[in-house]
Chain A
Amino acid sequence: KNQVEQSPQSLIILEGKNCTLQCNYTVSPFSNLRWYKQDTGRGPVSLTIMTFSENTKSNGRYTATLDADTKQSSLHITASQLSDSASYICVVSARSNYQLIWGAGTKLIIKP
């Protein structure tokens, strides 16, 4: 069954610190993997999209990695800011129908 699992479920860090969020997936055949940021009560906003041939992709202070062999991805946030407080969702697209399979998200809280 196509699934996306994320860890940790929630994370609290101090402003200015770095953090790494994890994503494991069992989606096959794989098309691409996306990381979304979702503020409370708002729609998801895309951070990165990676295909199987891309190992790393950056968007400002966000860097995503992908290991298509082990089916793992991570999202690293550098020098966190209060505005980074949100849910970060890993989403994988299957090449068979391009339907998006959503993870449950990691709820990140940045404390001053």
Chain B
Amino acid sequence: EPEVTQTPSHQVTQMGQEVILRCVPISNHLYFYWYRQILGQKVEFLVSFYNNEISEKSEIFDDQFSVERPDGSNFTLKIRSTKLEDSAMYFCASSVTSSYNEQFFGPGTRLTVL
């Protein structure tokens, strides 16, 4: 069964460093998403991406964040200068369309900022 994959599973970085989180969405899906979940808190929407551009983004998704689909398969989230409060699980998801269709989530990347 096709699934969303994410790498790495755990990333440890120093405050102020740049990190890139990688995702491979399901191949026939057209919409891609990034979410984050701080330990013990709700899942929070960051950004949705369609047709090589951002379609929606939340207040969390400020200038420190960027997304890219550098080739036909990968979807990346870059955090330019990490802060302690960026420590969280980051989930990538994909869906066939943006509305009714369910979103399939990857296993997540645990980001720890020291």
Contact = CB atoms under 8 A, between A and B. Distances in A.
B18 interface: no
A20 interface: no
Interface of B: 4, 41-45, 48, 56, 89, 91, 93, 98-100, 102-108, 110
6 contacts: A43-B106, A45-B105, A51-B100, A93-B99, A104-B42, A105-B42
A43 B100 contact: no
Contacts of B98: 98
Given A32-B100, A45-B105, A89-B43, 17 more contacts: A34-B102, A43-B91, A43-B107, A44-B43, A44-B91, A44-B105, A46-B104, A49-B100, A49-B102, A51-B100, A93-B99, A98-B98, A100-B45, A102-B43, A102-B44, A102-B45, A104-B41
Nearest to A101: B45
Contacts of A83: none
Nearest to A93: B99
B33 to A, nearest CB: 8
Contacts of B103: 46, 100
Nearest to A44: B105
A92 B27 CA distance: 26
Contacts of B99: 31, 93, 98
Given A32-B100, A98-B98, A103 B108 contact: no
A51 B56 CA distance: 22
**Residue among A43, A99, A102, A105 with most chain B CB within 10 A:** A43
Nearest to B110: A41
A32 to B, nearest CB: 6
Contacts of B102: 34, 46, 49
Interface in A36-52: 41-46, 49, 51
A42 B107 contact: yes
B56 A99 contact: yes
